[in-house]
Amino acid sequence: MIGSIKNHEVNAGKPLKFIEASLFQWVNPKAWTIAITVSTAFYPSEENYIVAFLFLAFFASLVNLPCISLWALFGASLRKFIDNKTIKKIIEYKDLIIGFDIAGPELNYLPSMYKDSFLKVKNAGINVTIHAGEGDGVHSIQEALDNGAKRIGHGVRIIEDINDDNELGPTADHILQNYIPLEVCITSNLHTICIKILKSIQYQDCII
């Protein structure tokens, strides 16, 4: 793989971080509805407002934090249960399956999140394909390789691991030496706004 694709523009969506999600609550209508309802129902009319506010905030936190914790714990457990059930079914019918593929948003959803599932599939002798290197950078491709991928969906940002003298970095070199195919799809790159302007990437300079 030889090329000199540099400085292309990437614009990918990502989930809110903790602080961003906290600030979002100031414009969240549901949060305002709860706050107004609680204040109206339980706010004393003849007491120190500051003390009353702290009192309500304390008990709201006392109730809210366990609920949020249980919600998060249930969600994590449910995902693990679904993953295990799916993997067991895949392994059960492995003789009828050509390969195991995972796709979807790449940014902030690295393959290592599902490393146990990939390991089980790999140990069962099932081929693994992982979408990487489109919505996220070279490190996502390396993670895909580390989790058993023998084929990479997209992978166009591998070019970031090749310098101006066409010297390959470790990830690009591994792909070349081990004949890892990249499923390059220019149309997808445009639709996901991975590459904003097609002509900014000289595909004719790439040999894949």
Predicted confidence (pLDDT) at residue 105 exceeds the cutoff of 70: yes
197 contact partners, CB below 8 Å, separation of at least 6: 9
Residue 195, Cβ neighbours under 10 Å: how many? 22
The chain-wide mean pLDDT, for the chain, equals: 77
Q: Which residues contact 160 (CB under 8 A, 6 or more apart)?
A: 137, 138
- For residue 176, the model assigns a pLDDT of 92
Q: Could you tell me the residue ranges of all domains in the chain?
A: 18-87, 93-205
1 contacts: CB under 8 Å, gap ≥ 6: 158, 162, 168, 172, 175, 176, 182, 206, 207, 208
**Which residues make Cβ contacts (< 8 Å) with residue 72, sequence separation at least 6?**
none
| DSSP code for 184 | -
What percent of the chain has a predicted confidence (pLDDT) above 90?
A: 16
- The closest alpha carbon to 2, from 158, 171, 197, 188, belongs to 158
For residues 168 and 160, what is the distance between their CA atoms, to the nearest angstrom?
9
pLDDT in tens, 19-73: 877 787 788 887 788 777 877 777 666 667 777 777 777 877 787 778 777 777 7
What whole-number distance in Å separates Cα of residue 118 and Cα of residue 88?
12
Between CA 9 and CA 196 the distance in angstroms is: 6
Domain range 93-205, CATH architecture: Alpha-Beta Barrel (3.20)
Q: Look at residue 88 and tell me whether its pLDDT is greater than 60.
A: yes
Distance from C-alpha of 25 to C-alpha of 34, rounded to nearest angstrom: 11
Known catalytic residues are 134
Locate all alpha helices (DSSP H) within the chain, ordered by sequence: 18-24, 29-42, 49-92, 115-123, 138-146, 170-177, 186-191
Structure tokens at 73: 């714990």
The model's pLDDT over 142-158, given as tens digits with 9 standing for 90+, comes to 999 999 999 999 888 88
pTM comes to: 0.57
